[in-house]
Amino acid sequence: MESIGINPQLLVAFLINFLILFGLLTAVLYKPILKMLDERQAKIKESLEQAEKIKEQTSRSEEQIKAAIEAARKEGQVIIAQASQIADKIKEEAKEGARKEADIIINKAKDEIKLERDKSIADLRTEFANLTVLAAEKVIKESVDAKKHRKLIDDVLEESKTFKQN
Amino acid sequence: MNKLGCSSRLGVLLGIFILALLLTAFVIGPLGSRLLNIQVPSYLQVGKPHVQLPSEAVFHVGGFTITNTLLSSWITILILFLVFFAATRKMKVIPGRLQSFAEVVVEGMYNFIQGVSGEKNARIFLPVVGTIFLYVITNAWLALIPVWGTIGFWEHGEEGAIFVPLLRAANTDINLTLSIALFAFCFIEILGMTKIGPLKYIDGFFNFGVLRDAFVGLFKGKIKQFFTNLANGFLNIFIGILEIVSHFIRIISFTFRLFGNMTAGEILLMVMTFLVPFVAAVPFYGLETLVGFLQAMIFAGLTLVFGVLAVTPHHEEGAEEHH
């Protein structure tokens, strides 16, 4: 034992040395480093989870935006369709109104023309009758009673009217 | 191109220089000078390697003797403490270089331990296994620095003048290897007892259950089973005694494996330096670097494996072995 150097005193010294190193390294190396590694692991885990969450949120909001856009497009199409319908209706109405007004105007014009014509005819007739009376007076030179005369002419005219109609 | 040519020329010059140095070393070394019959001046001679297994006393403090190995183990402890204290003094989430180094060391050891012992026990094993590894490897590598084994004084004893180095590889002191081995042994046994329970742990060696079964069988009148169980029970007790002996033998194997390897390495380096003073020892320094790492790994790894064996319940392990 002596020849390879086993020495109880030295052995105890080395044992104490080792225990001191054990304590020192535990305090200065293993504990803080493991704590830091744990902390970092927790942090990484947390941030990964957060990233996942954000990703999910993003995709969800993207989907929402897409849905909103789709809805807006549909709505727009509906509005356009409605508008074009309304425009058609308005056009149709305008057309109808114009036609009606035109009809009214034409009718009014026709009536007026007719009235005018009738008036002209009546005027012509009276003129003609007066002329005839004047002529007849001139011809027969005889002053017939105006009233009698008038009746006579009217009779003739009546006759002529019936004649015309025949 | 020019730069490359220059550096390659430098390399050739360096090679020639090293070769010349090797040749000179060979000639002035004892091998060549004897072979070529040259008288070498004494200042060029390297002292004859003197192999001494017990560490040498350097100081005496009161009744206590401080040996050169104890001194270098203190230096090891101081260096380890200072380096890792500096590394972990201001811990940051984003580590600096020194903290990264400490983290790599701890994480590497932790992952290794975790691979062997599993997640649950890794934190119990890390301080013990890690300290053994760091202590042994630092002792081994520090001893490769030229200051170790070269600075010292001459002691005039009855065998004439003996060179006593101030610092000597701490791993070459059997007291050191024995102290780590004892620590590892105590750690393993205490861990086994606390983790499994003292009675169960001791029962794990002897497997008394078979013997109990034998007597229960006898009570129930199963004579044939009683004899086979009785034989098995005594066999188990015998195996248990063997196993306990093997646990104690671990101390010796731990001690002498490290002591033997490190002492052999030191003697190898000494002899090589004596035979061919320059250059020739360099590959052996590389080898010793590897050996230092390996021995640290083996010591720590075996402690870990024995610890894991102590923590796993014996019955399951036994059942696995029998099938």
Q: What is the pLDDT of residues B20-31, one digit of tens each?
A: 888 888 877 777
Same domain, B28 and B141: no
Is position B217 within any domain?
Answer: yes
Residues B126 and B35 in one domain: no
- A42 touches B: beta carbon within 8 Å: no
User: Tens of pLDDT along B71-92?
Assistant: 999 999 999 999 999 998 888 8
Q: Is the separation of the CB atoms in B255 and B178 below 8 Å?
A: yes
CB contact under 8 A, B102 and A29: yes
Q: Does A83 touch chain B (CB under 8 A)?
A: no
Q: Are residues B181 and B290 in the same domain?
A: yes
B27, B118: one domain: no
Residue B233, Cβ neighbours under 10 Å: how many?
20
Lowest mean pLDDT among A107-116, B1-10, B55-64, B272-281: B1-10
Residues B128, B259 within the same domain: yes
Q: CB-based contacts of A11: which residues, under 8 Å, 6+ apart? A: B175, B178, B179
pLDDT band at B319 (very low <50, low <70, confident <90, very high): very low
Interface probe with A: pick from B84, B90, B104, B183, most Cβ of A within 10 Å: B84
Task: Quote the DSSP letter at residue A2.
Answer: T
pLDDT of residue B1: 47
Q: Which of B105, B128, B175 sits opposite A5 (nearest CB)?
A: B175
Mean pLDDT value across chain A: 86
Q: Are residues B189 and B40 in the same domain?
A: no
**Is B239 found in the same domain as B129?**
yes
Confidence band of B60 (pLDDT split at 50, 70, 90):
confident
- Mean per-residue pLDDT, B36-44: 71
Task: Say how many CB pairs under 8 Å bridge A and B.
Answer: 116
- Say if residue B138 is in the same domain as residue B286: yes
Predicted interface score ipTM higher than 0.90: no
Judge whether B123 is closer than 8 Å to chain A, CB to CB.
yes
Distances A7 to A4, A23, B59, B165 between C-alpha atoms, Å: 9, 24, 16, 19
Q: Tell me which residue in B130, B173, B183 faces A30 most closely, judged by beta carbons.
A: B130
B173 touches A at CB < 8 Å:
yes
A129 pLDDT more than 90: no
**How close does chain A come to B265, measured CA to CA in Å?**
16
How much is the average pLDDT of A98-109?
92
A63-87 tens-digit pLDDT: 999 999 999 999 999 999 999 999 9
DSSP letter string over A9-52?
A: HHHHHHHHHHHHHHHHHIIIIIHHHHHHHHHHHHHHHHHHHHHH
Residue span of the structural domain in which B216 resides = 113-150+166-322
Q: Does one domain contain both B276 and B146?
A: yes
Residue with tokens 């203190």: B74
Domain spans in chain A, listed from the N-terminal domain onward: 8-165
Residues of A in contact with B131 (CB under 8 A): 18, 21-22, 25-26
Percent of all residues in chain B with a pLDDT value above 90, rounded to a whole number: 40
Q: For chain B, how many structural domains are there in total? A: 2
State whether A2 and B178 contact (CB < 8 Å): no
- Mark whether B146 and B264 lie in a shared domain: yes
- pLDDT at site B321: 44
In a domain, B97, yes or no: no
Query: Exposed, middle or buried: residue B310 (CB in 10 Å: 0-12, 13-18, 19+)?
Result: buried
pLDDT, tens only, B277-309: 788 888 999 999 999 999 999 999 999 999 999
Supply the pLDDT for residue B222.
76
Query: C-alpha distances in angstroms, A62 versus A67, A137, B47?
Result: 9, 109, 83
